[in-house]
Amino acid sequence: MKIFSALWLAFGLFYLWGCDDSQKESSDLEGDSDTVETEESATEWLDPYANQPWRPRYHFTPSENWMNDPNGLVFYKGEYHLFYQYAPEGFVLSPLHWGHAVSTDLVHWEHLPVAIYPDDVLGNAYSGSAVVDRTNSSGLCLEDEGETSCLVALFTHSGGEDGLQKQSLAYSNDRGRTWEMYENNPVLGPDPRWADFRDPKVLWDDANSRWIMVLAAGNQLLFYESSNLLEWELASEFTRDSSDDGGAWECPELFEIPLENRENESRWLLEIDWTTSTGGIGSGGRYFVGDFTDGSFYSETSVKSVLRVDYGSDFYAAQSFFGLEDGRRIWLAWMNNWQYALSVSTKPWQGAMSLPRTIALRTDDKGLYRVVQNPVEQLRSLRGNPLIQLENLVVEGEYRLPETSYCTSCEIAVELQPDSASDCFLSVFVGGQEHTDIGYDAGNGTLYFDRRESGTVDFSPHFSRRQEVDYPLDNGTLRLNVFLDQSTVEVFAGDGETVLSFLVFPDSDSRGIVWQANGGACTVETMAIYPMESIWKIPAP
């Protein structure tokens, strides 16, 4: 590793509180009803996963074995449900089940038993969604305390005796704790025309009082309608062109969302995921913005201009929660990429979810639509007191932060002026030969992430990479919120209009944090590092 030398011209204001992650910032707790109670500090808490290398501390992971897509995200009777593609028998892709966890605050999760099992005849339980059937439109819900509603999941059965993909239904009358299979499954398909016919996303179309299902079918999306969730009629198709390079579309998402900067206007956002067949970035998501009427989606954005959901490599199969009562739209995604997911080796678990993100839609100054994503506010409850706070640090060459500010599960908030530097970057997980770089290339006006020397990278020829995105700076200041969590990094730029999410596998000793400027000096106007508390806490014995 290079010897880091610092040019420390301005002054730093240090709050050296040590590395005690358990202290909380009381000001951040105000007005947040979903936060952890402060009396907890009287108890000693342990993180059961603390000694597992690369295990994220404040991102959802299964307790053990393989996980991929989030499924069936739904809020019901005070609980957020997270189901997920789960292979409880190991690090293999099959047989696939729906794993299950619940949360009351979107931050702390409780692992629950497997919800949906594969079926010998119908096949593996692939991805899908869940809704609250509030009016018992399906006739499957039982009365409970004067209300007849239940959770209904629509998902793909894949393989089985006919080897095909078809959509099945399961329902729960005990707040998701146990699930029953609908007796006449499948409810849709199979259709021999499509080998890829999967990942139903179901939503409620308020304007027309009916259910809508969006399904990925080979090279297109199919939209279906239903009055009862059991019988589905094809309403329309939405076809891709060749702009996204190969692989089948997967895991569609569709919802209406207010347009932030135009009063009383809203649009429909259609999101899909795919894996390029020719290498490149591998798996990723893109979105279209438009209108959804009478069962058809009309895109205002060209199919040729690919609007990416996330400019990193590891944000796939995003799904939003059904049933949020306060109008927020929140999604999360699997932090991985099919190019190398099966080669990742983090034992005893494999697979992490992104932070849950609030989504907004706005138009930029060129009138182009931009999805804006930010971590849900409740995550602030995990912030400890800052390990360091700096102002007006002028970086020329290298500046290594003091050891007391090192962290591997933390939030780093930065405001940066590139000034005369052609390249100004923050290295995290620094140690030995390892470093993960998040930087601004002023010459090209790009924000970049470089994990080529981030640690273990050689498990796949596709993992080692540097990715960049155009990011013109209007007033010269770049604002970044970077969330590190052992093996995950999520970078939110500006107001959250550009996000880059990546996996990294550094050595556990690689904890350093270093600024570097090349070709001139840059100014770190402000920087604060907050340790993030683990969400996996059990009382000490």
Catalytic residues: 69
Among 54, 66, 76, 126, binds ligand FRU (CB under 6 A): 126
CA neighbor of 350 nearest in space, from 90, 57, 69: 90
CA neighbor of 253 nearest in space, from 362, 330, 196: 330
**541 vs 536: CA distance, rounded Å:** 15
Is residue 25 classed as helix, strand or coil in its secondary structure?
coil
Contact between 390 and ligand FRU (CB under 6 A)? no
CB of 193 to ligand FRU, least distance (A): 18
Contact 95, 104 (CB under 8 A): no
CB of 189 to ligand FRU, least distance (A): 14
Is residue 91 classed as helix, strand or coil in its secondary structure?
coil
- CA-to-CA dists, residue 495 to 303, 361, 375, angstroms: 26, 12, 11
Closest to ligand FRU by CB, 68 vs 534, is 68
Contact 150, 204 (CB under 8 A): no
Among 21, 119, 133, 250, binds ligand FRU (CB under 6 A): 250
Contact between 199 and ligand FRU (CB under 6 A)? yes
CB of 69 to ligand FRU, least distance (A): 5
Closest to ligand FRU by CB, 140 vs 187, is 187
CB of 230 to ligand FRU, least distance (A): 21
CB of 325 to ligand FRU, least distance (A): 28
**The token pair that represents 409 in the structure block:** 């599960």
Contact 224, 176 (CB under 8 A): no
**The token pair that represents 385 in the structure block:** 């007191």
Contact between 350 and ligand FRU (CB under 6 A)? no
Closest to ligand FRU by CB, 337 vs 523, is 337
The enclosing H or E element of 28 equals: helix 26-29
DSSP 369-384: EEEEEEE-GGGGGGB-
**448 vs 461: CA distance, rounded Å:** 20
CB of 249 to ligand FRU, least distance (A): 9
**The token pair that represents 38 in the structure block:** 């402060």
Closest to ligand FRU by CB, 173 vs 283, is 283
CA 337, 341, 343, 346: dihedral to nearest 10 degrees?
120
Q: Sketch the per residue contact string, 410 through 449, with ligand FRU: x for CB under 6 A, - otherwise.
A: ----------------------------------------
Contact between 310 and ligand FRU (CB under 6 A)? no
Among 215, 221, 251, 414, binds ligand FRU (CB under 6 A): 251
Contact between 332 and ligand FRU (CB under 6 A)? no
Closest to ligand FRU by CB, 199 vs 490, is 199
Contact between 268 and ligand FRU (CB under 6 A)? no
Contact between 127 and ligand FRU (CB under 6 A)? yes
DSSP 322-355: B--TTS--EEEEE---TTTGGG---SSEE--BPP
Contact between 317 and ligand FRU (CB under 6 A)? yes
Contact between 149 and ligand FRU (CB under 6 A)? no
Closest to ligand FRU by CB, 249 vs 440, is 249
Contact between 57 and ligand FRU (CB under 6 A)? no
Give me the phi and psi of 51, to 5 degrees please: -95, 10
Contact 130, 151 (CB under 8 A): yes
How many other β-carbons are positioned within 10 Å of the β-carbon of residue 368?
A: 12
**128 vs 149: CA distance, rounded Å:** 20
CB of 176 to ligand FRU, least distance (A): 20
Contact between 314 and ligand FRU (CB under 6 A)? no
**535 vs 38: CA distance, rounded Å:** 14
Contact between 85 and ligand FRU (CB under 6 A)? yes
DSSP state, residue 250: E
Contact between 320 and ligand FRU (CB under 6 A)? no
CB of 128 to ligand FRU, least distance (A): 8
Among 36, 67, 96, 395, binds ligand FRU (CB under 6 A): 96
Contact between 313 and ligand FRU (CB under 6 A)? no
Residues making contact with ligand FRU (CB under 6 A): 68-69, 85, 96, 126-127, 156, 198-199, 250-251, 317
